[in-house]
Chains A and B, each alone.
Chain A
Amino acid sequence: MRQTIHIFKKDLRRFSWEIAATLILLGVYAWCQPASWQPLDMFFAVGGGSAFLRYQGSMVLGLFLVVAWTILLVRLVQEESLAGDKQFWVTRPYCWPSLLAAKVLFVIVVVNLPLLIVQLGLLRAAGFAPFHHPDVLLFINLGLDAIFLPFAALAAISGSRTQLTRVAIVALILMIAWLALGSSGFSVSWHGTRAWSWLGEVILFGVPLVVIVRQYAWRKTVQSRWILLGGALALVLLSAVEPKSTLNEAKYPVVSSQNAYIQLHMERPPESQTPRPILTKALTQADRYVAIDLDLYGDEVADGSVVEGNAVRVTLQAADGTQWDSGWERVFNVMEHNQPGTETSPPVRDTRRFNALFLVDKNFFDRYKDAPISVHVTAAATLFRDHAEPIDESEGSLILPGIGFCRATERPVSLYMYTCRTDRASIPLLGITSRRFRSCPASPDELLRPPDQSTAWTGGGETIERLSPVLTFTPYLQRDETKPQSFAPCNDAPLLFRQPEEVRKFRVEKDFKDVKLADFVRQL
C-alpha cells in the first residue's frame, strides 16, 4: 500500500498540469450542463449572450472531457511503460500489484472522484436528492472506466508514442470494420441479440482487462499484442456473424388474433398524402432497396390499457412462392383506447398508427410491385395498464411524480414541447396528456370525456452513455391548431401524467391478401 501511495503521489506530481486542465474542463462542463435542462428558446431569452456557448458546451464538452481523460490515462500507463526494454523501473523494486493499484487509484482520484462531485452538484442543481439513485452514479462511473480499458490496453502494449500511433491505426481500422459489419443490416441489433451484445461487451472490455493485468504481471508484450489483436478480430467476426434484425421471441409469446390486445389492419394511404421523409439508411441504399410503408394500424385497445408497439416483421409472398422477409424492425408507437366522442391531436388515425416501414430488395419490388401479393405481418408489442394522475402546470413547470421535472416551451405552436429531466437511469414509458374543452365540465365524470385530447408519449427504457446523472428527454404534444379556438384547457382539468404499468409482452400475427406494393412505396 505504501508503494502504491508513493507511485500515485509521483504521478500526481508528474501530471499536475494535465490534471489541472481536466479539472478546469470538468468545471466548465458542470457550468454548461444546466443549459441542456431548459427549453432552448427560454434559455436564450434568460441567458443572453453566454447562453449559446453554454448550450453548445453542454453538448460537446462531455466528449472533450472523455478524450482528455483518455489521453491522460494513456500517458499515465506509459509513464511506467510496460513494453520495450529500456525503461528504468523494470530493474527497480517495483511490486506490480502496487504499480497497477497506483494507476487505478489515479483514475479514481483524478477522474471518478471529481466527476462524482460534479454529478452530485448537478443533481442538486437539477432539484434531485444527490444520493437518490446511487446505482446510476455507479453505473455512469463504471461505464466511463470501462471505456478507458481498451485505450489503457493499447497503451500497455506500446512503449512509445510512435508505437502507440501504429497500434492505434490498426485498432482504428479494426473498429471501422467492426462498426461497418455491425450495421450492415437495416436495423441495429436489438432485443434478440442481447446475448450477442453481452458477448461483444465481454470481448470489448474483458480482453483489454486481461491484457492490462498480464502486462503488469509479466510484461509479455508480444503475447499481449496477439491477445488484443485476437480480441479485436473476434469482435469483427462477431459483428459479421451476429444475427441482425432479430427479436427475442421467447419474451413475446404469440397470442391469437381474437384474443390479441390489439387488432391490426392495413389502410391504403390517401393519394394526397405528403411523402414522409426517408431514413438516411434508405437513402444511402436507394439503388438496392425500396422503402415500403404498409400503413398499418392498431385498433380495439381495451379501455384502461395502453399498447406500446416494439417491433414489426413483414414477410412478403408472391403468387409464384417467392418470399421476402424484412427481419425484425424496431418501432415505437403507443396506442390507447379511443374514448367515444373524443378527438385527438394528431387525428385518431395517426395515433393508432403501427409503423411498418421496411426496405424491400429492389429486384423483388420491380418484379412484383404491381402484382397482388400476400403479406404476413408479425407485430411485437407490450400491454400496459394505464395509470393517470392529474398534474399542475405552474408557469410552464411540471413535476412528474417519481420521474423529475419539465419546462414547457412558451410558444403557441402546433408542436408543444416539454424539456424534462430525471435522475433515473432510463426513461420508462410515460405520457403527458393535455385535455381541452369547449366549456369547462361541471362534474368529474365529464372530465373523462374531453372533446379534445393529445398525449406526448416518451420512453422506451433505453440508456445512453453519458457523464451527467441528469437525463433529459423532450416529449412533444401535438395540438391541432385548426380546431375551434373555443377548445381550451380548464383549471379543473389539469394535465394528466400517464405512467402505465407493464402487464405483458406479446406477439400478434396477421395476414393480408392481394396487397400491391406499389401503393405503399414511401417516396424519396
Chain B
Amino acid sequence: MSSAIKTEQLSKKFWTVKALREISLDVPQGAIYALVGPNGAGKTTAIKVLMNILAPSGGQAEVLGIDSSRLRGDFFTQIGYVSENQEIPEWMRVGQFFDYLRPFYPNWDRELENALLQQMELPRDRKLKHLSRGMKMKAALASSLAYRPKLIVLDEPFTGLDPLVRDQLIEGLLERASEATILISSHDLAEIESFSSHVGYLEQGRLKFSEEMSSLASRFREVVVTLAQATAVPAKTPESWLQPAAAGATFQFIESRFDQERTSAAIQQAFGPVRDVTYAPMTLRAIFLAMAKSSRASA
C-alpha cells in the first residue's frame, strides 16, 4: 500500500526548543491515522509542518507524493485541513463562506455541500462570528469535505465540543472515510479508538510508536498475576513490563509486547509457579495513560 504521508527524520526547532525530533512516520493511503500524545508532544507542530504552514528544521516529509515544503496553491485542492485554532473569515456568513471557497476547487460537489450543511445543521445566513465553537468547527469541516479531498487532516477537531457535535463531526468524517486518507490528532482517545485504523504516539517530539490499531490493541495487555504468597516487585523486570506493582499476593503490570507464550514464560521466570494469571485487553485511553505515566516515571 503506498503512503499518503511519509516523513523521514522530520525535525522542527523553535530557537532552542526541539518540537519534533527526527520523526519517521508513514500514513498509508486509505488509513484513518490517529496521532496521539500528551500536551506539548508536538502533534500540532507535526501537522503544521506536513501542511507547509511551518518549515521543517530538518528531515523530509512527503504529502500525497509531494515534498511538503512545496505544498501550496493547487495541491490544496486535494487536501482538507481543519484545525481547532484556525482563523476563518468570521465576517462572512456561512453561505458566503461556501460561495467564496467554491470557485477555488474544481471538484467542489454542490450536492455534497448541501448535504453536509444539512447534516451538520449549519444555517447559511448566520455570520461565522455568531456561531458557537462547535458550529465553527462543523463549518470548517464541511468546507473541507465538500470537494472530496484525497487527504483530510484534522488537528484536535473535538477539543471542547459537546458529545452531540462530536458525533456529528465524526459521522460526517466517516462518510468520507472510504474515499480519503484521514490524519487526525486528538486527545479524545475514546472517540478515536472507535474509528481509527492506525495510531501514532508522540511524546516530547519523538514518535514512540506508529502502528495499526489492531496490532496495538493486541500487543498491550493488563496482566494480573496471583501468587501463593505475598511478594514485592522484582528487582529486574522485562523492559516491556510497564508500571509493575505488587499488593499482597497480587502482582500486576502492563505488557507492552504481549504474546501469551512469551509473557507466560517471563512470568514463570520471574516468580516461578503462580496461582493464576489474567490478561485483560486495554482501551486506547488506558494504553495512552500507561505510556505517559511510565515515560514520566522513567524521566
- Residues of A at the B interface (CB closer than 8 Å) are 2-3, 6, 10, 13-14, 79, 81, 85-88, 90-96, 220
Q: What are the 5 closest A-B residue pairs judged by CB atoms, nearest first?
A: A91-B81, A93-B76, A95-B73, A93-B104, A85-B53
| Contacts A86-B85, A86-B87 given; does A92 touch B76 at CB 8 Å | yes
CB < 8 Å neighbour of B101 from A2, A13, A92, A96:
A92
Closest to B73 in A: A95
| In the bound complex, CA of A91 to CA of B140 (Å) | 12
Shortest CB-to-CB span from B83 to chain A, Å, is 8
Closest to B54 in A: A85
Closest to B45 in A: A85
| In the bound complex, CA of A96 to CA of B52 (Å) | 14
Let me know if B91 and A96 touch, CB within 8 A.
no
A selection of 22 A-B contacts at a CB cut-off of 8 Å is: A2-B103, A3-B103, A3-B104, A6-B100, A6-B103, A13-B96, A14-B89, A85-B48, A85-B53, A85-B54, A86-B86, A87-B86, A88-B87, A88-B140, A91-B81, A92-B76, A92-B101, A92-B104, A93-B76, A95-B73, A95-B74, A220-B55
Let me know if B87 and A14 touch, CB within 8 A.
no
| In the bound complex, CA of A79 to CA of B105 (Å) | 21
| In the bound complex, CA of A481 to CA of B48 (Å) | 81
Shortest CB-to-CB span from B299 to chain A, Å, is 28
Chain A residues near B52: list those with CB within 8 A: 90
Chain B residues near A94: list those with CB within 8 A: 72-73, 76, 104
Let me know if B74 and A93 touch, CB within 8 A.
yes
**How many interface contacts (CB-CB < 8 Å) are there between A and B?**
54
Q: How many residues does chain B have at the interface if contact means C-beta atoms less than 8 Å apart? A: 28
| Contacts A86-B87, A88-B87, A91-B81 given; does A96 touch B73 at CB 8 Å | yes
| Interface bits B12-37 vs A (CB < 8 Å: 1, else 0) | 00000000000000000000000000
Chain A residues near B76: list those with CB within 8 A: 91-94
Chain B residues near A85: list those with CB within 8 A: 48, 53-54
CB < 8 Å neighbour of A87 from B74, B79, B87:
B87
| In the bound complex, CA of A85 to CA of B88 (Å) | 12
Let me know if B51 and A88 touch, CB within 8 A.
no
Let me know if A93 and B85 touch, CB within 8 A.
no
Let me know if B91 and A14 touch, CB within 8 A.
yes
| In the bound complex, CA of A91 to CA of B55 (Å) | 14
Q: A93-B73, A93-B75 are in contact. List 16 more A-B contacts (CB 8 A).
A: A2-B103, A6-B103, A6-B104, A81-B87, A85-B53, A86-B83, A86-B87, A88-B86, A88-B89, A88-B140, A90-B72, A91-B51, A92-B76, A93-B76, A93-B104, A94-B72
B77 at the interface (CB under 8 A from A): yes
| In the bound complex, CA of A301 to CA of B234 (Å) | 115
| In the bound complex, CA of A81 to CA of B91 (Å) | 15
Let me know if B105 and A93 touch, CB within 8 A.
yes
Let me know if A91 and B100 touch, CB within 8 A.
no
Chain A residues near B91: list those with CB within 8 A: 14
Closest to B81 in A: A91
Let me know if B104 and A91 touch, CB within 8 A.
no
Chain A residues near B81: list those with CB within 8 A: 91
| In the bound complex, CA of A92 to CA of B74 (Å) | 8
| In the bound complex, CA of A223 to CA of B52 (Å) | 16
Shortest CB-to-CB span from A416 to chain B, Å, is 58
Chain B residues near A14: list those with CB within 8 A: 89, 91
Let me know if B88 and A88 touch, CB within 8 A.
yes
Shortest CB-to-CB span from B183 to chain A, Å, is 13
Chain B residues near A3: list those with CB within 8 A: 103-104
| In the bound complex, CA of A96 to CA of B85 (Å) | 23
Shortest CB-to-CB span from B124 to chain A, Å, is 16
Shortest CB-to-CB span from A507 to chain B, Å, is 58
Shortest CB-to-CB span from A257 to chain B, Å, is 68
Shortest CB-to-CB span from A89 to chain B, Å, is 8
Shortest CB-to-CB span from A163 to chain B, Å, is 14
Closest to A81 in B: B87
| In the bound complex, CA of A13 to CA of B96 (Å) | 11
| In the bound complex, CA of A214 to CA of B88 (Å) | 24
